[in-house]
Amino acid sequence: MNIVSCQMKMVLKKNLHFPLLTLLLIVTSCLVTSAVFAQIKFTAHVSYNTVARDQALQLEFVLEGAESADDFTAPSFTGFNILQGPAYGSYFSVNNGDVTKGLNITYILMPQKPGKLVIDAARVKVKGKIYRSNSVTINVLNELSGKSNNTIVTVPPLPGMRNNRPANPDNKELILRKGEDPIAKIQKNLFVQVEVNKQTCYEGEPIVATYKLYTRLRSVSRVTKRPSFNGFSVVEMTQPENMDFHPDQLNGKPIYSTILRKVQLFPLQSGQLTLEPVEIASQVRFLKAGDKPKNNNSIDDLFNDFFDDEMLNGETEEHNLTLQSKPLTITVKPLPEAGKPVNFNGAVGKFTIQTALNNNNVTANENGTLKVLVEGKGNLSMINTPVINWPRGIEGFEATARENIDNSTIPISGTKTFDYPFTVTEKGKYEIPAVSLSYFNPETEKYETVNSAIVSFAVNKIAEKKAPVVSKDYPQEEESFIDKAKNFYDDTLKGEWWWPAIVFLLLIWGGYQWRQKIKLSRAKNELKRLMEEENKEDFAEAVPLTEGVITTFNTDPLDKARQQLKNNNSIGFYNELHNAVWSFLQQKYQLRPTEMNKKAVSDKLKADLFGENIVTGFIQILNTCELALYTPVHSQEEMYQLLQQAETFIKTIEHKII
């Protein structure tokens, strides 16, 4: 602003007689002033709003309209672990030639638990004013991720690079020379665009759209927004998970390119339809060139100048940016009304049609199937079910369709098969008329009709209808519950030999219940004795039997489990015992969340020189607790025995009794 004002004053002094130039400078000054005081925006963006519980996401805070900030305060990130960040960088976005500068702060986050997690707003101070970003809600699914949805593309060094030195002038875009504008260089050598095989077509006639990324720079790019195709039926041709760059030519110059997405688009309506842009986020890295040394040797200096030799100082410069392809408009012409057949149902392309019976031996009163096969190139998926003119004596039913399509051809090719079930009621000779298909051929720009052959067949026999079997002795009525019970007694329980067996089983069951009652009484007495002893002895006052630092606990980790046992609450007991063992091990070994599993703890126990019997006992305790939660009927004696086992395990680990 100051430089512009000074320049304006100098020009005014020298050009008092040129009011037009004065007006031009005033307008220029106003434009610069409005750019300086452009609106500042501070927003938060995430790579995904829905992720699996083991899937990382990228969070980016973007400060648009300011090249520096006085202070940045990040949110608390409750429910997330920070894998990377904060990473600060310069930012500018290129959109249809318009450049907006700014700053960005990036984090890589990993969710800690499933559910809806909220990332609160961040704060930034710019020239004494505080700006707040938007908050972001992440939906974390309670499932593991499959393939990653991120589309990452990278560019290797261009061919001919040796020792970070370019071998020909075409590769020197990798180098940022002193005083060179990096933004202009990126705009010229890194861009994304959509290419189509034609911009005018008929309804239903496919166009091929290819989104490509071109570059002569060393960069890493990620697709952040895929294009939507409103008004089109979409058939994917190429959408690779990992994209590689290949040498290409653009306007007669060498360049690298990769395909981001390739589709066949079938217009569903006429008019002007727009292909929306694809958006990518890229990070570009330049090699910085230094000053050339002077050898005080005119011959050497002349040689270096002739070959334009570069001196690289080993430094790099990175820039982050967002690129978009330009929207592209497709003109879709309506299908002509002149000459349109009555039975035309929207087929566009070139097709043939055939008909046949699945089985030529058709029997009356049984189902037969008429197969209609449509084959060719075009909008096969959009072809509707052909109409069958069934002759008298044949009843047809709704058809089912299946497709076998090759997406790699242009237009797509393959077959679409329609199966029509039908029945015949009487013997005789039958003839199914030819089935016709009308379609519009874009090559000839005319409607064409193809017909199948006539299907003739004879029905020589009638399938007998099977009548239901009816008993002569009893009416055909459902047997009542009382009748079923009476018949069961008469057929099964009426014999006298059953009663001694029942009495014997009752005696066995009574003996078992009496024995369980005695065991329960003993377990209660032993538990009472144990509780009295623990009131006299502190669980934490244990003396280690081996040297080293011993972790002690001020309270009994099994106290809650004992209370549940005392209350005869089996589900609560196993749950508290399970939690107590894990809490003890977590505190003992300072376990991280990723180590809270049986394998990791088993490895730590073995590394601590505990025997296999200790490791097996640990796994047995946890397995018993987990299984018991699904089979909640357990005796108090079983719970008491498991409590003793857990107590022995904890004391062994606590005091290192190996």
First to last CA, the chain: 79
User: Is the separation of the CB atoms in 418 and 372 below 8 Å?
Assistant: yes
Q: Which comes out higher in pLDDT, residue 65 or 573?
A: 573
Q: How confident is the model at residue 495 (pLDDT cuts 50, 70, 90)?
A: low
Q: How far is CA 373 from the centre of its chain?
A: 37
Q: Give the separation between CA 77 and CA 490, rounded to whole angstroms.
A: 74
Which two three-digit tokens encode residue 266? 């079938």
Mean pLDDT of the chain: 77
Tell me: the pLDDT tens digits for 600-619? 888 888 888 788 888 888 88
Tell me: the pLDDT tens digits for 188-214? 899 999 999 999 999 999 999 999 999
Cα–Cα nearest to 211, from 277, 255, 158: 277
Q: Give the separation between CA 96 and CA 94, rounded to whole angstroms.
A: 7
Cα–Cα nearest to 638, from 511, 522, 514: 522
Question: What local confidence, expressed as pLDDT, does residue 569 receive?
Answer: 85
- 210 bridge partner residues: 195, 262
Using CA atoms in the order 439, 441, 445, 449, what is the torsion angle rounded to 10 degrees? -40
Q: Give the separation between CA 93 and CA 631, rounded to whole angstroms.
A: 60
SS3 of residue 113 by DSSP: coil
Q: How confident is the model at residue 481 (pLDDT cuts 50, 70, 90)?
A: low
Backbone angles phi, psi at 511, to 5 degrees: -65, -40
Q: Give the separation between CA 201 and CA 333, rounded to whole angstroms.
A: 6
Question: What local confidence, expressed as pLDDT, does residue 489 receive?
Answer: 57
Work out the widest C-alpha separation in the chain, in whole angstroms: 136
Beta pairing, strands 347-357 & 436-441: parallel
> What size, in residues, is the chain?
658
Q: How confident is the model at residue 398 (pLDDT cuts 50, 70, 90)?
A: very high
Quickly list DSSP for 208-270: EEEEEEEESSEEEEEEEEPPP-TTEEEEEEE--SSB--EEEEETTEEEEEEEEEEEEEEESSS
Q: Give the separation between CA 196 and CA 259, rounded to whole angstroms.
A: 13
Which two three-digit tokens encode residue 325? 């392809």
Q: Give the separation between CA 119 and CA 41, rounded to whole angstroms.
A: 18
Any idea which of 166-180, 200-214, 386-400 has the lowest mean pLDDT?
Answer: 166-180
Q: Give the separation between CA 448 and CA 427, rounded to whole angstroms.
A: 38
Residues near 98 by beta carbon (within 8 Å), at least 6 away in sequence:
none
Cα–Cα nearest to 557, from 643, 640, 657: 643
Report for 78-92, 480-494, 608-622: range of highest mean pLDDT:
608-622
- State yes or no: pLDDT of 491 exceeds 60: no
Question: What local confidence, expressed as pLDDT, does residue 363 receive?
Answer: 85
Question: What local confidence, expressed as pLDDT, does residue 636 receive?
Answer: 80
Question: What local confidence, expressed as pLDDT, does residue 530 receive?
Answer: 57
Neighbours of 39 (CB within 10 A): 6
Q: Give the separation between CA 414 and CA 405, rounded to whole angstroms.
A: 4
Tell me: the pLDDT tens digits for 549-589? 334 455 788 888 888 888 888 888 888 898 899 888 888 88
Any idea which of 5-14, 91-100, 358-367, 375-384 has the lowest mean pLDDT?
Answer: 5-14
Q: Give the separation between CA 145 and CA 452, rounded to whole angstroms.
A: 49
Cα–Cα nearest to 245, from 224, 231, 235, 260: 260
Q: How confident is the model at residue 225 (pLDDT cuts 50, 70, 90)?
A: confident
- 63 bridge partner residues: 42, 103
- State yes or no: pLDDT of 415 exceeds 90: yes
Report for 411-425, 460-474, 583-597: range of highest mean pLDDT:
411-425
Q: Which residues of 199-224 are buried (b: 16+ CB within 10 A; e: fewer)?
A: eebbbbbbbbbbbbbbbbbbbebbbb
3-state secondary structure 475-520: CCCCCCHHHHHHHHHHHHHCCCCHHHHHHHHHHHHHHHHHHHHHHH
Neighbours of 54 (CB within 10 A): 12
Cα–Cα distances in Å, from 579 out to 565, 574, 592, 642, 654?
Answer: 15, 9, 16, 14, 17
Alpha-helix residue ranges (DSSP H) falling in 324-395: none
Q: How far is CA 337 from the centre of its chain?
A: 45
Residues near 146 by beta carbon (within 8 Å), at least 6 away in sequence:
none
Type of residue numbered 218: R
Question: What local confidence, expressed as pLDDT, does residue 488 receive?
Answer: 56
Q: How confident is the model at residue 633 (pLDDT cuts 50, 70, 90)?
A: low
Q: How confident is the model at residue 486 (pLDDT cuts 50, 70, 90)?
A: low
- HSE (CB half, 13 Å, CA atoms) of 614? 22
- State yes or no: pLDDT of 327 exceeds 90: yes
Any idea which of 35-39, 145-149, 180-184, 243-247 has the lowest mean pLDDT?
Answer: 145-149
Q: How confident is the model at residue 13 (pLDDT cuts 50, 70, 90)?
A: very low
Cα–Cα distances in Å, from 70 out to 23, 73, 134?
Answer: 37, 11, 19
pTM over 0.85: no
Number of H helices, E strands in the chain: 11, 32
Q: Give the separation between CA 123 and CA 367, rounded to whole angstroms.
A: 73
Beta strands in 242-380 (DSSP E): 246-250, 253-267, 271-275, 279-289, 312-324, 328-333, 347-357, 367-378
Cα–Cα distances in Å, from 612 out to 309, 609, 618, 649, 650?
Answer: 68, 9, 10, 13, 15
Backbone angles phi, psi at 501, to 5 degrees: -65, -40
